[in-house]
Amino acid sequence: MSAPTRTLTAHANGNHRITEPAPVRWVLTTVALVFLALFLALPLAAVFSQAFEKGFGTYLLALKEPDTLAAVKLTLITAAVAVPLNLVFGVMASWAIAKFSFPGKNLLITLIDLPFSVSPIISGLIYVLIFGRQGWLGPFLEAHDIKILFAVPGILLATIFVTFPFIARELIPLMESQGRDEEEAAMVLGASGLQTFFRITLPNIKWGIIYGVILCNARAMGEFGAVSVVSGHIRGITNTVPLQVEILYNEYNYTAAFAVASLLAFLALITLAVKSVAEWNVRENMEP
Amino acid sequence: MSIEIESINKQFGSFTALGDVSLSIPSGELVALLGPSGSGKTTLLRIIAGLESPDSGRILFNGEDTTESHVRERKVGFVFQHYALFKHMTVFDNVVFGLTVRPKETRPSKGEIRDKVTELLRLVQLEGMAKRYPAQLSGGQRQRIALARALAVEPQVLLLDEPFGALDAQVRTELRRWLRRLHDEIHVTSVFVTHDQEEALEVADRIVVMNKGRIEQAGTPDQVYEHPANPFVLNFLGNVNLFHGRIQSAGEGQPEADNSVSYVRSHDVEIDRSQHDSSSLKAEVKHIQKLGPSVRITLSINDSESFVEAELTRDVFQNLDLQQGEQVYVRPRQVRVFAEDYQI
Amino acid sequence: MKLFTKHHNVLPGFGPTMGYTLLYLSLVVLIPLSALVFKTAGLSWNEFLEAVAAPRVLASYKVTFGAALAAAGINAVFGVLVAWVLVRYPFPGRRLVDALVDLPFALPTAVAGITLATVYSPNGWVGKILEPRGIKVAFTPLGIIVAMTFIGLPFVVRTVQPVIEELDAEIEEAAACLGANRWQTFRRVLFPLLTPSVLTGFALAFARGVGEYGSIIFIAGNMPMVSEITPLLILTKLEQYDYQGATAIATVMLVASFIMLLVINLLQKWSRRYAE
Ligand SMILES: Nc1ncnc2c1ncn2[C@@H]1O[C@H](COP(=O)(O)OP(=O)(O)OP(=O)(O)O)[C@@H](O)[C@H]1O
Ligand SMILES: [Mg+2]
């Protein structure tokens, strides 16, 4: 972090001679801010503006709708399942990858990143291919009357898939940058493996975990494409919040759609806030 | 080209990095800015280059005020401590960069540029390295490429910020001798920053000793070494012992004031088995430390709390055959006295 | 797994953690993805070609890849600008703006979709201004580009920004000392150093745009042959129980993602080429 702060102070003092002339700086800043306003700030403002268009009462009414409440519940359940599972995986994987050297490490990292480069629609499709009526396990599931597709388990699986890399990819570089020295020192001092992990490693990656969890959670609660393939859109049963937004929107019930969407936008703002704090702390913990 | 520095002040926030610094550097001289870390050497050098602007004061090149002119127009060569080579360019492209950014009318032809690079690489003794990238060079080689790049634009002033700071001891010594020869060859007014007194004494025509944003003394190496203006300069240019109150050197009279402090460089401390004259002090050998060609002896003066360090050559040490715990006499060969209130 | 550990490593737990990693990775990612591969392998070459090269499908590729390319291009230009401004020019609220750049990461795509559709629709905040000037955004391919620009922006900014932060001030000072003006310094010294990260960001934004679904379908209009993106087409086929068609097209998309992944990896390797 030393480099940026140094430039900053130099600029703030106005003694950094090697920069662009003031008018150029001014124009570039304006253009950048207008672009961001147009593409980011305006849509964000629009969510809330539309949500509260017909007043606070209507807003609350839209949220209290039973189908919406059911969607909120399903979304919370989904995140509560997907995030811990991927957290455990992320910690395990980063320990194995960052603290040891073995052949094929880069390939493994690429495979872990894979769900990021797969279109959400494909992420849903693969579960249809496995659990669908014509899928691998379709006949078996039907025979035993187990519902995965167009039911909650399918939603959980698709969500776990799309949020799979979030925590691992945050922790791997962080742990790699921290090296093995501190853990080795702890072992030399007689700590057991678990003691070493909980008392040395964990405090060092704490903010990285928070960062990864918050992003993973945002995606788990907000995933749309993959979930919409496997959900079946059964109101009150297999609709998550984003799907509920879609349905309301497609029914031209805009105010309600935006009211529900505003919940997700709040979530996004909280995510951004926590992320900024975590980012700051992660950078502090990263060895240069 | 001569450089006049006229009462330059520079603050960083409330911190005074340079306080009323004035200095004049005659044309063609090789000047060393010497001082401890944080004394403002880099800041002064950057102000001369135009990379930083002073809060007040003027910089004159050949009598002409350049304080307001942009670094681009000053025609200075600047060698950065970490070289700042363009790592995506070959050595060739690095060296010619300054020529190729000129407007078309003044830009040399391709042929001229090629000749120039060949000549410069010969000058810095790196012929045949033109096609390499900076990452493929050693530290000392990078350093010389940085110098060649600065020289390519034929600067009227060459500024070097700790040019050898990042190199190991051996390469350092080699390069600084080479810099001296190079300067004798091209004679461009040069200022280089260092915090290594030996480097400054060996290479520079003149040494400017800085401390806490001020110039303590400016003079030839002999002047600053033999006639330090104050205890700081004396201390910075060699290990010294200080004695509170009176002390006499061999053959000299009594210092006038009682509240003065006497300074003796450690190699000016003589050790004897017998009392020589009244200036001898009885002391005990506490510690013997062999440092290559010389030997450092720590002694405690009897009946006092103070310790003295003496530096002997190996020959002298062997002749004396000193043992730890032995009682001997110490005698300062040369004493410098400064008023007590001076703080190092 | 013992085979792989380096003998001098005293840290424990490689076996169990690596075992769990591989097991979980296989269960969650590799086996499900292989379903797609096997399903496709079951198709004859002709069936496959028929599915992936039908005119409507080809048109969807054109729309998807074309729009993603345009959006990534816009992001490459404005993303670098935003990153530069955020690092170099202090202005009030800079940290807030910096945090806002990640909004497309954090905002669920469905929300982004309905919002962009509303803002850029003929009577929306922006659409109202553009419509009289003859620029239609919502429900046209232009709308797709807008949505892809939205979701791709952080990729460029966040890959370029740290590189700008780490640019050594001395490099620029050296160029200035050698007589280069600001533009020459940017073009000849800074830009070559930024290029790999700009290209990486471009490729990431492009890859994300190609796969995107949620934020696009609301604003796109989804007219076959004109503004229908490939992911939507896959979903449509699925809803018509045309599993074969859906699978075949998905395979094409998957292969495209793998190629982009490869390109991105190569770019990242390339960006380290001057490192010592
Ligand atoms: N941009 C800046 N902002 C704030 N303080 C600064 C800045 N640049 C330098 N200083 C301060 O000014 C003082 C002089 O710095 P300068 O770099 O000139 O020292 P120096 O003599 O070159 O030291 P060194 O031998 O360590 O390089 C230092 O105390 C430093 O902390
Ligand atoms: Mg310095």
- Return the residue whose CA atom lies nearest to atom 12 of ligand 1: B17
Domain made up of A55-285: CATH architecture: Orthogonal Bundle (1.10)
Which residues 142-171 in chain B show a CB within 8 A of chain C? Answer: 149-150, 152-153
CATH classification of the domain holding C154: 1.10.3720.10
Tell me the C-alpha to C-alpha distance, in Å, between residue B190 and each of A154, A246, B17, C179: 75, 72, 22, 19
Residues with CB under 5 A from ligand 2 (ion): B 42
Q: Give the pLDDT score at A9.
A: 30
Whole-angstrom Cα distance, residue C63 to residue C151?
17
Rounded mean pLDDT, B247-264 = 57
Domain that holds residue B103: 3-237
pLDDT at B29 over 70: yes
- What is the average pLDDT value for chain A, to the nearest integer? 88
Domain harbouring B38, CATH code: 3.40.50.300
Interface of C with A in 234-273 (CB under 8 A): 234-235, 238, 243, 246-247, 250, 253-254, 257-258, 260-261, 265
Strands B327-332, B336-339: pairing is: unpaired
Q: What is the pLDDT at residue B298?
A: 86
Give the residue whose CA is nearest to atom 26 of ligand 1.
Answer: B37
B254 pLDDT tier (thresholds 50, 70, 90): very low
Rounded Cα distance between C118 and C111, Å, is: 11
- The pLDDT > 70 percentage for chain C reads 96
- B307-313 sheet: strands from edge to edge: B269-272, B327-332, B281-291, B294-301, B307-313
Residue in this structure with the two tokens 């800079």, named with its chain if needed: C94
pLDDT at B250: 46
Return the pLDDT at A32: 96
Q: Are B166 and B261 within one domain?
A: no
pLDDT at residue A12 tops 50:
no
Write the pLDDT tens digit of every residue in C148-202. 999 999 999 999 999 999 888 889 999 999 999 999 999 999 999 999 999 999 9
Strand stretches in chain B, DSSP E: 3-12, 15-25, 30-34, 56-61, 64-65, 76-79, 157-161, 189-194, 206-211, 214-219, 240-244, 260-265, 269-272, 281-291, 294-301, 307-313, 327-332, 336-339
Give backbone dihedrals phi and psi of A154, rounded to 5 degrees, phi first.
Answer: -60, -40
Summarize pLDDT for B179-209 with one digit per residue, the tens. 898 899 888 999 999 988 888 988 999 999 9
Looking at the domain assignment, is residue C13 inside a domain?
Answer: no
For A49-97, what is each residue's pLDDT tens digit? 999 989 899 999 989 999 999 999 999 999 999 999 999 999 999 999 9
The pLDDT assigned to A8 comes to 30
Residue nearest to atom 22 of ligand 1 (CA): B42
Residues B260, B171 within the same domain: no
Chain C residues close to B78, C-beta within 8 Å: 173-174, 177
Q: Is B17 in the pocket of ligand 1 (CB under 6 A)?
A: yes
Please tell me which of the candidates B82, B87, B101 has its beta carbon nearest to residue C179: B101
Specify if C119 maps to a domain.
yes
CA B333 to CA A180: how far, in whole Å? 56
Report residue B344's pLDDT band, with 50, 70 and 90 as the boundaries: very low
DSSP string, A32-60: HHHHHIIIIIHHHHHHHHHHTTTHHHHHH
Cβ within 8 Å, pair B51-A15: no
Please identify among residues 13-72 of chain A the ones whose CB lies closer than 8 Å to any CB of chain B.
13, 15, 17-18
Same domain, residue pair B105 and B187:
yes
Interface A-C, measured as beta-carbon pairs within 8 A, has a size of 300
Does B70 fall in a domain? yes
Region of poorest pLDDT, from B11-20, B227-236, C94-103: B227-236
CA distance B99 to B108: 7
Q: Is the pLDDT of residue C7 over 70?
A: no
Is residue B227 domain-shared with residue B247, that is, in the same domain?
no
Is the pLDDT score of C112 beyond 90?
yes
pLDDT for the residue C204: 93
- Residue with more model confidence, C275 or B161: B161
| pLDDT tens figures, A103-153 | 999 899 989 999 988 999 999 999 999 998 888 888 888 888 888 889 999
Predicted local confidence at residue A186, as pLDDT: 85
B215 pLDDT higher than 70? yes
Q: Answer yes or no: is C97 within a domain.
A: yes
Residue A229 pLDDT more than 60?
A: yes
Is the Cβ–Cβ distance between B210 and B31 less than 8 Å? Answer: no
Q: Are residues B259 and B139 in the same domain?
A: no
Q: How confident is the model at residue C110 (pLDDT cuts 50, 70, 90)?
A: very high
Structural element, H or E, at residue A86: helix A66-99
Instruction: Tell me the ligand closest to B21's alpha carbon.
Output: 1
Specify if B344 maps to a domain.
Answer: no
- CA C173–ligand 2 middle distance (angstroms): 15
Same domain, B85 and B133: yes
Instruction: Tell me whether residue B343 is in a domain.
Output: no
What pLDDT score was predicted for residue C276?
58
Whether B257 shows a pLDDT value over 60: the answer reads no
Looking at the fold, whether B96 and B220 belong to one and the same domain comes out as yes
* Domain tally, chain B: 2
At residue B277, the 3 state secondary structure works out as coil
Domain with C79 in it: 46-275
Q: How many domains does chain C have?
A: 1
**Mean pLDDT of all residues in C210-221:** 93
pLDDT value at position C6?
47
In ligand 1, the atom with minimum distance to the C-alpha of B195 is: 25
Q: CA B216, B222, B224: angle at the middle one, nearest 5? A: 10
Q: What is the pLDDT of residue A4?
A: 28
Q: B336 with B234: CB under 8 angstroms?
A: yes
Kindly determine whether residue C176 and residue B51, on different chains, have CB atoms separated by under 8 Å: yes
| pLDDT: which is higher, B287 or C75 | C75
Question: Which positions ≥6 away from A21 have C-beta within 8 Å?
Answer: C182
- Residues B79, B97: Cα–Cα separation, whole Å: 14
Question: Looking at residue C5, what is its pLDDT?
Answer: 46
Q: Is the pLDDT of residue B339 over 70?
A: no
Cα–ligand 2 centroid distance for B160 (angstroms) = 10
Backbone angles phi, psi at B328, to 5 degrees: -140, 180
Amino acid B259: pLDDT? 61
Residue C1 distance to chain A (closest CA, Å)? 10
B262 and B331 belong to one structural domain:
yes
Instruction: Compare CB distances from C168 to B75, B77, B84 and report the shortest one's residue.
Output: B84
